[in-house]
Amino acid sequence: MFSLHAVRRLRDFVLDITLSIGQGETLVLIGENGAGKSTVLNLISGILTPDRGEIVLGERALFSFDKRINIPTENRNIGHLFQSYALFPHMTVAENVAFGLQCRQVPKAEIAASVTERLAVMRLSDLADVNASRLSGGQRQRVALARALVLEPELLLLDEPLAAVDMRARGAMRKELREQIQNADIPCIIVTHALHDALELADRLCLIEEGKVAADGDPEEVLGMQENGFIASFTDR
């Protein structure tokens, strides 16, 4: 269970978003470029701080303006995948996946076991010792997902998870992603520009316009709002 109310002054408008997600539910955010979708993810993971509001994950308040709570990013236990995946280019695949466990000072033997297992699950074992800067888009995506999921996060944030994946591989990757999210059984927020992502990954769909929630509900219901200009062009593709 995750709930968010965040207000933050951006350059062109004030972002003011209220959202909540149930356990194991996947919420997909759609909207124009610059509508504030990625900003919402950054506010949740703590890279940005809201001006006002409250963010609650499970029993824990991550941010509360009234109670003066602001848990630092590194203690939020949220998996955040960036659009570019941000794999550390000076590390191998295995080192990337081990990074978060090392930060948590998990014993070395345990780290090795977790990393090996996670790489096997994600079919990345062959790439363990390859430098992260030499991977294809699809491989990067899987490594970034492995790096986040090995930490057993309580919430998963995915910013355009398939944008850097080769067109032909996208369908298979999307299916795989769906399985990974289902197995993790945690709330998940996905930002996307692709109709297929919205249709196949979303339990619920949320349209953001100029920092406000313009629609939030069942995917078919939201995509049926053809009087909305963005929805009309989104479903037209």
Partner 1 sequence: MDLTQFQQKSEVSRHSSRTRLGRAALTLLIAVLLALFLLFVTVPIASLFLRISPEAFLRSLAEPVVLDALSLSLITATMSTVIVVIFGTPLALINARHDYRGRDLVDTLTDLPIVLPPAVAGIALLMAFGRRGVVGQYLDLFGIHIAFTTVAVILAQVFVASPFYIRQAKASFEAVDRIYEDAARTLGASPWAVARRITIPLAWGGLISGAILSFARALGEFGATIMFAGNFQGRTQTMPLAIYTTMQGDLDASISLAIILVMISFAVIAAVKVVTRRNF
Stretch 108-127 residues interacting with partner 1 (CB under 8 A): none
Q: Which stretch binds partner 1 (CB under 8 A): 12-20, 56-64, 81-89, 121-129?
A: 81-89
Q: Which is nearer to partner 1, 8 or 205 (CB)?
A: 8
Tell me the per-residue interface mask from 195 to 234 with partner 1, x by CB under 8 A, - otherwise: ----------------------------------------
Q: Which stretch binds partner 1 (CB under 8 A): 96-104, 116-124, 202-210, 222-230?
A: 96-104
Does 142 interact with partner 1 (rule: CB under 8 A)?
A: no
Among 9, 22, 23, 75, binds partner 1 (CB under 8 A): 75
- Helix (H), strand (E), coil (C) string for the chain: CEEEEEEEECCCCEEEEEEEECCCCEEEEECCCCCCHHHHHHHHHCCCCCCEEEEEECCEEEEECCCCEECCHHHCCEEEECCCCCCCCCCEHHHHHHHHHHHCCCCHHHHHHHHHHHHHHCCCHHHCCCEHHHCCHHHHHHHHHHHHHCCCCCEEEEECCCCCCCHHHHHHHHHHHHHHHHHHCCCEEEECCCHHHHHHHCCEEEEEECCEEEEEECHHHHHCCCCCHHHHHHHHC
For binding to partner 1 (CB under 8 A), which residues are involved? 42, 45-47, 72-80, 82, 84, 86, 88-90, 99-100, 103-104, 133, 147-148, 151
